[in-house]
Structure 1
Amino acid sequence: MLRICTLFVLAMACPGQPAGAQTFSGRVVVIDGDTLDVGQTRVRLHGIDAPELGQTCTNRNGVSWDCGTWVADQVRRRFEGHRARCQAVEKDKYGRTVARCEVADQDIGRALVRDGLALAYRQYSMAYDLDEKGAAVSARGLHGHVMARPAEYRRNLRDKRAGQNPAPDPTCVIKGNINGKGRRIYHMPGQQHYERTTIRTARAERWFCSEAEARAAGWRRAKR
């Protein structure tokens, strides 16, 4: 049976579209690897995460370089000045419109992940999961270098600003905290109190690379 979307149907959206989805278009101005101005709208591309401006990568010879600025330049060469058509998904905490955008029927997010210029942001979408895996297997773009995932890079920056000791290794992100009663508790990414838990090595708190390592050292997992 043919399904027809009408304004007559209360609080219902067309199949495949989120309720209240907004479509807009405009000329592209690139801010960084995953942030654009589309006309008058500041857009954070949905489902991808690119290195921050000033974030460094390390090449096979052990030389560090500003891969965040390089990615922004690559995105600028590809899309700056072109007309994009976007579909809004939501607003983020910075007031930006999170959206999926296309230029000449090309999904910008998919193109960037596919070519190794950004990573799939699986916390928010699995849409580009296979594109990232394909780029990693072929060592395209950033995958030919050593790079902390942008989310971890940002978290370490926040930790430094808060005066706590950041993870020495971006793959070792389990937080071993000692609470006010002296109990040793570790927090996994995604748990309720992970983000607000600080690690101060002067108090014998530490980072762990695996749950097995944390348990062996005498820490127990946080209940939530």
Structure 2
Amino acid sequence: MIRSFRRLPLPLDLFGAIALIVGLAWLALLWRGEPGEVAGFARVIDGDSLAIDGRDVRLFGIDAPELHQLCERGGRPWPCGEAAKRRLGELAASRFVRCTVRDTDRYRRAVSDCRAGGEDLGQRMVEAGLAVAERGYFTAEVAARAAGRGIWAGGFERPAEWRRAHRGH
């Protein structure tokens, strides 16, 4: 004897749960970004470094004063490294940051072009005079220099030179 089973409709709650799981998986893929991309809300480490979704990111094309670095302004020292970190924090605060990875440095950071709210973070840091241009952004550096913004308002040691002289800081 062959028994036929009547197909029972699945409860709508099960369909809703499946749709929710699929939707969350899709959002997770969007949140994590594409391969070669780091995206999310950032924690600022210093004037040219962020942490996004557990990954350290270094802004491509700029070099900001180190966190403990002092510059000179009006004949007095001022904490330019802290000022750079603060400005990057203002630019990234409560904004979704999307970074396109260009390379990985010796510290395993994703060297990246990063944008928040449509703004290029490297460009904005150089324009503010709180980072020097390494690759690109040279027009922004010339403008910041001419206007005497940030580190260009007084004397400073280039961040790479400061790091060499202050290893371990």
Do residues 89 (structure 1) and 98 (structure 2) align?
A: no
Q: How does 1:49-88 map to 2 (within 5 A)?
A: 49-60=63-74, 62-88=75-101
Give the aligned residue type for 1:58: E
Residue 14 of structure 1 corresponds to none
Summarize the alignment of residues 1-224 of structure 1 with structure 2, pairs less than 5 Å apart.
Answer: 22-60=36-74, 62-121=75-134, 125=135, 127-158=136-167
Where does residue 7 of structure 1 map in the other structure? none
Query: RMSD in angstroms over aligned alpha carbons?
Result: 1.4
* Unpaired runs of at least 5, structure 2: 1-34
Q: Runs of at least 4 residues of structure 1 off by over 4 A?
A: none
Q: Distance in 2 between matches of 1:128 and 1:78?
A: 17
Greater relative contact order (Cα < 8 A, sep 6+)? 2
- 1:53 maps to amino acid: L
Q: Which deviations, in whole Å up to 9, do the C-alpha atoms of 1:8-29 show, x marking residues without a partner?
A: xxxxxxxxxxxxx712311011
**Alignment partners' CA distance in 2, 1:98 and 1:131:** 20
Q: Name the structure where helix makes up a greater proportion of residues.
A: 2
SS at match of 2:41: strand
Percentage of pairs with the same residue:
37
Q: Secondary structure at the match of 2:129?
A: coil
Check whether the contact 1:101–1:107 (CA below 8 A) recurs between aligned residues.
yes
TM-score, normalising length: structure 2: 0.75
Equivalent AA in structure 1 for residue 139 of structure 2: L
Of structures 1 and 2, the larger Rg is shown by 2
Query: 1:166 is matched with which residue?
Result: none
TM-score, with structure 1 as normaliser: 0.57
Q: Secondary structure at the match of 2:166?
A: helix
Equivalent pair of 1:31/1:72 in contact (CA under 8 Å): yes
Contact map agreement 2:39 2:99 (CA 8 A) in 1: yes
Can you list the C-alpha shifts for 1:130-188, whole angstroms capped at 9, x where unaligned? Answer: 11011101111221121101011011124xx7xxxxxxxxxxxxxxxxxxxxxxxxxxx
